Amino acid sequence: MKTLNQLATITALLLASQAALAAGAGGTWKTIDDETKQAKALVEISESAGGELSGRIVKLFANPDAVCDKCDGPLKGKPVVGMTILTGLKKGGDGWEGGKILDPKSGKVYSAKAKLAEAGKKLEVRGFIGMALLGRTQTWERQ
């Protein structure tokens, strides 16, 4: 009986994680700084008709009037709120990959990948240069 209950629990967890992945990453996410563990911003992620994810900042918690002083090109000096920071993520493997993420604080653009965790309640976003092993991950919380 115990084995049957364990099997039922595992099956339910697998179905829940598959349902979350099918539901996608669209929606509003609270970004959490991986170093300070403090909430930084709200990012609204949307999915294009082609299945590509993009995300833009809709709220900053600490400095709502911040501008991207260190950004290059047309983003230089622009308000961070409203800025698209996540682009080009496409479905692959157990999440999304092949995208880019902008760090408005440094103005740097990194390669990015993301995957849902905790049955879709969290999104693990990894920014990196070159190989995914050389980067860092932030865990965002679904709002």
The pLDDT value given to residue 4: 39
pLDDT in tens, the chain (143 residues): 554 344 344 444 433 444 444 459 999 999 988 788 899 999 999 999 888 999 999 999 999 999 999 999 999 999 999 999 999 999 998 999 999 999 999 999 999 999 999 999 999 999 999 888 889 999 999 99
What backbone torsions phi and psi does residue 69 show, to the nearest 5 degrees? Answer: -65, -30
Q: What is the pTM of this model?
A: 0.81
The pLDDT value given to residue 15: 39
Asked if residues 16 and 119 have their Cβ atoms less than 8 Å apart, the reply is yes
Alpha-carbon span 125 to 136, nearest angstrom? 8
